[in-house]
Each structure stands twice: as C-alpha cells, then as structure tokens.
A and B are shown apart, each in its own frame.
Chain A
Amino acid sequence: MAALDLLDRRLIDSYQRGLPICERPYAAMAEQLGVSEAEVVARLQALQDEQVLSRVGPVFDHARAGASLLAAVAVPETQRDEAAEVINRSAGVNHNYAREHRYNLWFVMTAADEGQLEARLDALEAELGQPLLRLPMLEGFHIDLGFPIPWAELEGA
C-alpha cells in the first residue's frame, strides 16, 4: 500500500473536487496549500505513477456523456481469469470486477451512444458464449466516488 505523507493527504482531501480552472491551476493549488507549484506538480505525478490517482481530471456524468451499462456474466470459476481478459479487451469496458456470486464477473461498458453500446455488448456476449445480465441505470440517487478518505482508520487497519 502506498505511504502518503501529510502533503499528499492534504492534496487529496482538498482537491477531489473543485480543481481551479485557471491558467496555472497547480500554482493556485500550491498557493492554497502553502507550497511551491513545482512541489504540487511533482506530488501529483508521483501519486499518479504509484497508481494512487487514476488521473487528475473530470468525472463525466454517465448519462450525459454517452451510453453506459452495468453487465454481469456467470462463468465457471476456473475460467474466470480468461473470461475477464476477454471482457477487458472489449472496447468500452472501464470497470471489471470479480464478485462473490454465481454472476461472478461484473463490468461497466460505455459507448458514444445506445446503438454502439448494444453492438459492443452483443459482440462480447457472442465471444463469451454466455448470456449477459444487462442492467442499465434507471435512476441515480447518489453517484459520486469523491468521498472523504478515512486516513485514521487506514492507519489502524
């Protein structure tokens, strides 16, 4: 697990949202945190290299950005890694998890529009040779993974 110091934590706590939109956003963040722009740039690059950050950037609204859908497939456990590879290779897949259920692989597929999405799902279903459970979002009540990080709990975990 990545070891993060106080500045890393302050960066994450302060800027999971509200990244300044100005010519030098990292300088604006640095000023707020009382460090240099170079320090912020170096920290962000390191956090990204260590895969603590997926990226610095926007989170798009699923529905307005295009089409997306949660799908699941039930494959024999012995073929799970292989099936997961097939899913990963499929265009538009951004999340792919093994979960504890008969439907053991769960993934999100995105596309520019519904037509492209259905075509991608049909192609993947044929390649997997298993029916996909297709679960589009009907209503979102809370969709935001920018939640506060429980640093103290992580230290004690």
Chain B
Amino acid sequence: MSHVSHEPVPCTDAERRLRALLERGLPINPRPWLTLGEQCGMSESEVMACVYRWQAEGLIKRMGLVVKHHALGISANAMVVWNVPDEAVGELGRRLAAEPAVTLCYRRPRRLPDWPYNLFCMIHGTRRDRVLAALDEIVERQALQAIPHRVLFSLKAYKQRGGRYTREDDSHDRRTPQPA
C-alpha cells in the first residue's frame, strides 16, 4: 500500500558487493552466508546482521525460494490494464489488490494518446479460460463494468530473472546464473 519511496539505502563497499551477490541468489551449500562473506569481504555474522537489517529496513521484501511459475505450469499470465478516473484510482487499486486472484497491482502514468491506462494488475493462472473467468468475477464483484480495460496475455517470456540494481552489474550481466 505504500507510495513509491526513493529513499537511498546507505551501503559500504562490502555491503554493495554483498547486494550484488544476493541479487543472483544464495549459494546452495551448508554455510551459504559464510560463502557470501568470503566473496564480499565480510564475516559470516556480519553478512547475517546485514541481511537482518535490510529485512527490517524493507530493502528486502522477502527471503526464500523464488519460483518460476511458468515452469510449474502457471503459464497463463494476464496483465489487465484499466482506465480509471484519477480520483478513484487509489481506492480501486486497494480493492483490486485485495482480490485473491490478483498477484500484482500498481498505478502507472497514462501516456496519451497511445496509452490511456493508469492501473495495472496481474492475474497468473494455469489456463487462459480460468484467468478470464477470474477476471469476470472481479469485474462483477467490484462493479467495474463501466471502467474500460484490456487484457494482455503474455505470449512468450524472452527473459525472466531478478532485478539487478548495483552499478558494477554491467560487466557480467549476461544471464550468468551465479558466481562460483
């Protein structure tokens, strides 16, 4: 429910290296924090303390298994875009976000004349017909018949990976899974 914040998160050099490593994922061995510490120049306990802090500060939203839904068969991925009157977009965004079928929901700017839509939500499902049925239910339940919308199903994923935010990323930014 938060407004987008651009508050900078202060980082030491070692912490920035740790972030760059974490963006690629945790090593899968019995002492992953120790391995990360060796790679970025921190002790195991410093790494863990840092990760704790980043969770508390909200820089890290969740920590765990990041699933590729398509590989599991959750392959009907619909981006539904709505043209909502500006004064109603916040409230409708919160209502859509609370719908169980909605996996992502956010407000973006219109780009007229090409793009009149200012509210986006994502519905992930196993089949196109089920996703469309879920959308129909949402339109009905939330009384959105008068709000113009479009459904953009994905046809193909050309790339799907976690975000990379660190500046030094460019040099080795070529789908390399994880540094050794």
Contacts and interface: CB of A to CB of B under 8 A. Distances in A.
Interface of A: 1-2, 4, 11-12, 15-19, 21-27, 37, 41, 44-45, 47-48, 50-68, 70, 84-85, 87-88, 91-101, 103, 105-108, 110-112, 114, 116, 133-147, 149-150, 153-154, 157
A65 B115 contact: no
Interface string B144-163: 00000011111111111111
Contact of A57 (B25, B93, B94): B25
Nearest to B89: A139
B156 A98 contact: yes
Interface of B: 1-7, 9, 19, 22-26, 28-34, 44, 48, 51-52, 54-55, 57-69, 71-74, 77, 79, 90, 93-94, 96-98, 102-109, 111, 114-115, 121, 124, 126-127, 130, 150-167, 169-170, 173, 178
A55 B27 CA distance: 9
Contact of A139 (B61, B90, B167): B90
7 contacts: A56-B25, A58-B23, A94-B161, A98-B154, A110-B163, A136-B4, A141-B94
Contacts of A26: 28, 30, 32
A94 B135 CA distance: 27
B162 to A, nearest CB: 6
Contacts, number: 294
Contacts of B32: 25-26
A142 B162 contact: no
Given A59-B162, A60-B59, 11 more contacts: A1-B73, A23-B44, A61-B61, A97-B157, A99-B79, A135-B111, A137-B4, A138-B108, A142-B104, A150-B126, A157-B73
B52 A100 contact: no
B163 A65 contact: yes
A96 B157 contact: yes
A8 B46 CA distance: 31
